[in-house]
Amino acid sequence: MSQFTSGFWDVYIAAISLVSIVACAVFLKLQSVRKAAEADTTGHTWDEDLAEYNNPLPRWWMWLFYVTIVFSLAYLVFYPGLGSFSGTLGWSQVKQLEEETARADARFGPIFDKFAAQEVAALAKNPAALAIGQKLFLNYCAQCHASDAGGSRGFPNLTDLEWLWGGTPEAIKTSITEGRLGVMPAWGPVLGEEGVKDVAHYVMSLSGMPADSMRIAPGKETFAKVCVACHGPEAKGNPAMGAPDLTDKVWLHGGSEPQIIESIGKGHTDQMPAQKDILSSAKIHLLTAYVYSLSGAERAPHRR
């Protein structure tokens, strides 16, 4: 890809832009020359005698085009548009974002700082704090977890008490701040098609789902050999590794037989992006309180 980062392309783009603008001006000039012969036509005729005359553009219309050409040249002088030339005003989208962010921080910073001094559990019961947390959630989290935090396949539901990495305020804050990376290995090449189905049916039986009784016993034996390291001997999961509890009916990637077989056979890689470089610690604190409040965790004991 180094050929696309060469300085040649800056010159190439600048040249193409300028040549295009000049060509438009020349073409406009050529089309604005008034012809001497009044009967000169383009040769197009409709309805036998309706001819199209080759007349120049109206003057007012022509000057509008000239104005746009002058405007485009002035724009390229003041603003970036010619390769790496940043414009005489020094404007950029990044600079504008930084300025707007600084103004917002100056205006709302004291509010965030006030809430940052309070415990997450207290903020989870504070309507004002939750209102701000909800806006943060809709801006930064709803794309994956949905606006109601109900999640979807591959994206956890944040409104229940099932937490892959723990549901304490500290664990939630760590998940938001540092992000998480969960990996389910693909066991298909190791276990084979029948072995994967055996484990799938054993796992299905753990949560009370209908399962093939002939596959449960061999599946349990295989589970004890290759799955307990992450999910535990009782299949209750391990929040330290993000390994889910397999004894409930909560399925991140779907709980049907084909979906469970796919998860075991092909594996999954799930990543929660770190927000520490995007959000301030005070905003993460408020967001933590909002997420903590969604499941009613402050009113119920943690299941894990």
For 258-292, write each residue's pLDDT tens digit: 999 999 999 999 999 999 999 999 999 999 999 99
Position 302 scores a pLDDT of: 43
Query: Structurally, how many domains does the chain consist of?
Result: 3
Are residue 100 and residue 169 in the same domain, yes or no? yes
Residue 196 buriedness (CB in 10 A; 0-12 / 13-18 / 19+)? buried
**Torsion angle of C-alpha atoms 235, 239, 243, 248, degrees rounded to 10:** 50
**Looking at the domain assignment, is residue 83 inside a domain?**
no
**Residues counted in the chain:** 304
Range of the domain at 205: 183-272
Say which residue the tokens 């940052």 belong to: 116
Are residue 191 and residue 251 in the same domain, yes or no? yes
- Top pLDDT among 51 and 54 is at 51
- Top pLDDT among 125 and 3 is at 125
Query: 3-class SS at 187?
Result: coil
Residue type, 258: P
The whole-angstrom separation of Cα 79 and Cα 7 is 19
**Looking at the domain assignment, is residue 86 inside a domain?**
no
Lowest mean pLDDT among 41-45, 59-63, 73-77, 90-94: 41-45
Residue 188 has pLDDT above 90, yes or no: yes
CA distances from 165 to 15, 29, 179, 213, 247 (A): 54, 69, 11, 32, 16
Are residue 10 and residue 133 in the same domain, yes or no? no
How far from each other are the two terminal CA atoms of the chain, in whole angstroms? Answer: 47
Are residue 278 and residue 150 in the same domain, yes or no? yes
Are residue 243 and residue 126 in the same domain, yes or no? no
Spell out the residues 6+ positions from residue 201 whose beta carbon is closer than 8 angstroms to its own: 211, 212, 215, 216, 219, 257
How confident is residue 200, by pLDDT bands cut at 50, 70 and 90? Answer: very high
Are residue 58 and residue 120 in the same domain, yes or no? no
Are residue 294 and residue 167 in the same domain, yes or no? yes
